């Protein structure tokens, strides 16, 4: 059996651990197996940038961040765009899959990666996906590898901000990753003891946020910690059309910075914005993610061995399972506004900016 493997999209902790878990499974359980590493994600398949890998290539990478295969983004919207020769990226991938003599392609990635994997499966290729994203937003799985490490990093950031916020009596806004989904901000916000958590799924009222900051001031708390997802928006912004929002934001600060300025002007407090950014993606995976990554990689190997294609690995109720790529591609797992964890957070005094 000839297996191709690639990592696509943004990097995150645990990619190497998954690659290692998958490789160890197939080399130990499938006879006459060849593992072909594809460089730089789908781009490597388009350009036929590959190498045959040996068991020794996977030694010592369990706790190493990043990916030994390299990664890049290949936008789903451009997959079927044709070049001057009438060939699309999808055409080239199908052609090179066959030219390389692959029996199956294993793809490690997030939502965009799964959408592209679904296109390849629809084109008749054997594909197995493994869900990777620090956003934890892939539908059909309770958790994605990389998420818990990112929560650890984001929580540590909030912990450190607490000391400077308390020392200076400031309101600090920590902008965490998550354009459309707020799982990372929700978990890190609760774990880090944030006073206000703002999520993409729950449009906030800036005046309500100001009121909550003032309420803390009135009770003798001269600082506030606000954990805000990068995709969080005010209720007014969510009602705008996309082009209207672009015009409204043009030449202005980020949403987090605009909110910080609004709070400072209306609550009479000093504010600061902290953006840990790609720190949340970097570094070595946590022990939990090393375990989960090994588990997911090994299970993907089992799916390949059993000829179960057109699917992606999933964890549900602490059991390894799978979903069809056609069911997962293009769907996001949002934070439900009535989620039990949000109710718990409200019950202990955390605000979400939508309180009346």
| 182-194 per-position pLDDT tens digit | 999 999 999 999 9
Would the pLDDT of 302 be above 80? yes
CATH number of 148-281: 3.40.50.460
pLDDT at site 298: 98
Is 55 in contact with 87 (CB distance < 8 Å)? no
Average pLDDT, the chain: 93
pLDDT at site 47: 93
Kindly give the pairing relationship between strand 196-198 and strand 224-229.
Answer: parallel
pLDDT tier for residue 252 given thresholds of 50, 70 and 90: low
pLDDT tier for residue 300 given thresholds of 50, 70 and 90: very high
Is 135 in contact with 230 (CB distance < 8 Å)? no
Would the pLDDT of 356 be above 70? no
- Pick from 126, 197, 131: nearest CA to 339: 197
Active-site residue numbers? 135
Domain ranges of the chain: 2-146+285-328, 148-281
Tens of pLDDT, residue by residue over 143-178, are 999 999 999 999 999 999 999 999 999 999 999 999
pLDDT tier for residue 294 given thresholds of 50, 70 and 90: very high
Look at 82 and 150; give whichever has higher pLDDT: 150
Give the angle subtended at the CA of 15 by the CAs of 14 and 17, to the nearest 5°: 65
Tens of pLDDT, residue by residue over 37-60, are 999 999 999 999 999 999 999 999
Tell me what the mean pLDDT of segment 291-303 comes to: 98
Distance between alpha carbon 65 and the CA centroid of its chain, in Å?
15
Would the pLDDT of 25 be above 90? yes
pLDDT at site 245: 75
Is 197 in contact with 244 (CB distance < 8 Å)? no
Tell me what the mean pLDDT of segment 108-125 comes to: 94
Sign of CA dihedral 103, 127, 278, 150: negative
CATH topology of domain 2-146+285-328: Rossmann fold (3.40.50)
Tell me what the mean pLDDT of segment 325-354 comes to: 95
pLDDT at site 197: 98
pLDDT at site 76: 75
Tens of pLDDT, residue by residue over 234-249, are 998 888 887 777 777 6
pLDDT at site 127: 98
Tell me what the mean pLDDT of segment 31-40 comes to: 96
Q: What percentage of the chain has pLDDT greater than the value 90?
A: 85
- Considering the entire predicted model, what is its pTM? 0.93
Which residues, at least 6 apart from 93, have a Cβ–Cβ distance to it below 8 Å? 42, 45, 46, 120
């Amino acid at each position: 059996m000839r297996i191709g493997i690639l990592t696509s999209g943004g990097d995150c902790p645990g990619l190497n651990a998954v690659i290692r878990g998958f490789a160890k499974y197939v080399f130990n359980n499938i006879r006459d197996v060849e593992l072909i590493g594809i460089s730089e994600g789908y781009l490597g398949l388009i350009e036929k940038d590959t190498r045959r890998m040996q068991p020794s290539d996977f030694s010592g990478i369990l706790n190493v961040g990043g990916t030994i295969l390299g990664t890049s983004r290949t936008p789903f919207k451009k997959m079927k765009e044709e070049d001057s020769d009438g060939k699309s990226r999808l055409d080239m991938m199908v052609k090179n899959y066959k030219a390389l003599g692959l029996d199956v392609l294993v793809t490690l990635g997030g939502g965009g990666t799964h959408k592209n994997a679904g296109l390849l499966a629809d084109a008749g290729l054997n594909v197995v996906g493994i869900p990777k994203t620090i956003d934890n937003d892939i539908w059909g799985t309770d958790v994605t590898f990389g998420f818990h490490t990112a929560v650890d990093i984001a929580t540590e950031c909030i912990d450190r901000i607490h000391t400077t916020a308390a020392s200076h009596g400031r309101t600090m806004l920590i902008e965490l990753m998550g354009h459309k989904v707020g799982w990372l901000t929700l978990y890190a916000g609760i774990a880090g003891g944030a006073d206000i958590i703002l999520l993409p799924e729950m449009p906030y009222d800036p005046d309500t946020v100001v009121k909550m900051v003032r309420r803390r001031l009135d009770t003798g708390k001269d600082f506030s910690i606000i954990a805000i997802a990068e995709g969080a928006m005010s209720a007014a912004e969510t009602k705008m059309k996309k082009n209207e929002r672009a015009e409204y934001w043009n030449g202005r600060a980020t949403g987090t910075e605009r909110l910080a300025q609004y709070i400072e002007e209306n609550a009479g407090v000093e504010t600061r914005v902290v953006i840990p950014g790609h720190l949340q993606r970097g570094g070595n995976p946590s022990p939990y993610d090393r375990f989960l990554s090994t588990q997911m990689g090994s299970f993907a190997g089992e799916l390949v061995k059993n000829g179960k294609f057109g699917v992606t690995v999933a964890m549900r109720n602490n059991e390894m399972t799978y979903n069809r790529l056609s069911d997962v591609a293009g769907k996001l797992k949002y934070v439900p506004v009535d989620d039990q964890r949000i109710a718990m957070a409200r019950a202990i005094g955390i605000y979400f900016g939508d309180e009346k």
